[in-house]
Amino acid sequence: MTDISSIVILTGAGISAESGIDTFRSAGGLWEQHKVEDVATPEGFARDPDLVLGFYDMRREALAKVRPNAAHTALARLEREFAGELLLVTQNVDDLHERGGSDQVLHMHGELKSALCLSCEVRSRWDAPMACRPPCPVCQASSLRPDVVWFGEMPYQMERIYAALQRADLFVSIGTSGAVYPAAGFVQEARTAGAQTLELNLEPSEGTAHFHEARHGPAGALVPQWVEEVLSA
Ligand code: OAD
């Protein structure tokens, strides 16, 4: 593990599972409870905004009941103590990385605690329900939507992510099924550019064959152990 000066980490729902947040594709997961096309597409929002706003209100409220776990705090430790370049990219819309102590988190699928105004296009920090159509704090229009990326929309900050993947010596994927692009393609992008690649996941992901190394088990155990290895190398 010597000679590592640039790391890109991608996290998914599995890193927050031990905190009590449902993943998407497990048995009983969010996409078994709700139809993707109803609650996670622009068309679904246009058809039934109350349903969509209520879905994200419920998920935002659930954040108050959960806490970061050992995997989140280990990545915050890595941010503080790793001397090289580190980019933490998450597909998660929860705030558990931040509450675990990470200051620099790139939320490529947006955030539950952010509102996007469809009138003035300004983003505001947001902690309250939206289904009651509150006014935008900037322009006062009742046109807020959750600042999350829906299917058919472009994930955030892709140029920055791809630039970091080109520079990376190590790409680590944590707690993601590898079912959703473009994130599922990051491993091949990094590997082609010369990075070592490591999967830390409860079970082999859909893309597991693309990684140089895969370790399987709960993130709360695997991630602190891996962080310790990096920092003591
Ligand atoms: P998924 O639900 O697809 O996958 C979660 C992964 O985490 C699975 O491979 C599980 O095996 C693994 N897992 C579960 N518990 C774990 C644990 N304790 N430790 C480690 N791994 C664990 O969630 P994502 O891959 O994050 O997008 O889903 C990607 C995107 O699909 C989401 O961001 C969301 C969803 O549709 C949008 O909504 C745009």
pLDDT in tens for each of the 233 residues of the chain? Answer: 558 999 999 999 999 999 999 999 988 899 989 999 999 999 999 999 999 999 999 999 999 999 999 999 999 999 999 999 999 999 999 999 999 999 999 999 999 999 999 999 999 999 999 999 999 999 999 999 999 999 999 999 999 999 999 999 999 999 999 999 999 999 999 999 999 999 999 999 999 999 999 999 999 999 999 999 999 98
Side by side, the strands of the sheet bearing 105-107 are 105-107, 85-90, 6-11, 170-174, 196-201, 213-216
Atom of ligand 1 nearest to the CA of 13: 26
Q: Nearest C-alpha to atom 25 of ligand 1 is from which residue?
A: 176
Whether residue 13 has its Cβ less than 6 Å from ligand 1: yes
pTM: 0.97
109 is catalytic: yes
- The atom number, within ligand 1, closest to the CA of 218 reads 19
